[in-house]
Structure 1
């Protein structure tokens, strides 16, 4: 469970280009490798696909190193993957090989040039990295990029015992409010698991006084909200 923190960090200063190139993600937190890089699609994303929650033109917002969009492309979906970090897009393109994926460097809080394009929007751990204003702009941008009736499938760190410290985790009511104000109708919100690389975040978690579960493969088992929504 989470304890009172010994050290706090300004998560808004996270440098994603830096961590993708082996530098520090967050001040002196000691995170010099992407802790979400588990080398395969997140189980929550696989579950979205298994449940039939992927259709038509797909946007992977904040694609990181591309494992989720590569998985979806391998299942025959037409995927556009964007990330604000140019290093992420470079590495994801390499990792994807010849997969038929449209990669682009783009600010997910505006998504200029992507209006009215997508039937499914996937967010695997982007929403919680933004501050309050960024979350509102992001939800509105996704709404503009989506077609009427489009689906949103989202995983974001849950502000619950055993989870990541706030503000990197989000309360259920915040998720609902931000999405619904942007024109998304939340149809399901439940707790799920997000995998991370325990070795990468061990010092950071110790400094923040946070204790999380790990599995036999050395992966953190972090609680997330698994959110299903529909564009009104």
Structure 2
């Protein structure tokens, strides 16, 4: 049993590594475009800080919601291009013919989407929170909610991007389809920071985000793979 399992696992790892390295090379070639989601999120946070003025209390109350909204919009900005380039150059057809499950390749690509859109914001979140005067006691809750919620947003977005991969100029449609799915994640993510500010227990909200992430890790790649097959047939 072990002899048959090891080659399969090695094939999955090799496919993930090849796709990961390919995406890194493409990302380096288009590094200007790759920085747009992170710069857009930084611009959103800066504009909110300027619009709300120098009132530290107002900034602190809205800091969690602003950072969560910036993360959501940054991921949404790059969502339409998640599978678009692969569909245009024929790579998706090669994915379907690969000796590894299509859902596995979708999961690897979704991880790259999260790593290039949400991970930089997660790293910069302490500095952005300081800009918005978020109390240090709430920073841990904010980071935990972002760490659980942003991968969930990417997984949900992958399903929407797969559904629209066969359409031209589907940017607005992608946003319209993705936003209703994003709302519960935004409510629990930003709501956990609000609960922490009120001295309430945030375990329930974080557990809901964690449960949603586990469920999405299992179901979202399968749903996105099925949507890609439908779109290309």
TM, length-normalised to structure 1: 0.29
Larger radius of gyration: 2
In the superposition, the TM-score normalised over structure 2's length comes to: 0.29
More strand by share: 1
By percentage of residues, which structure has more helix?
2
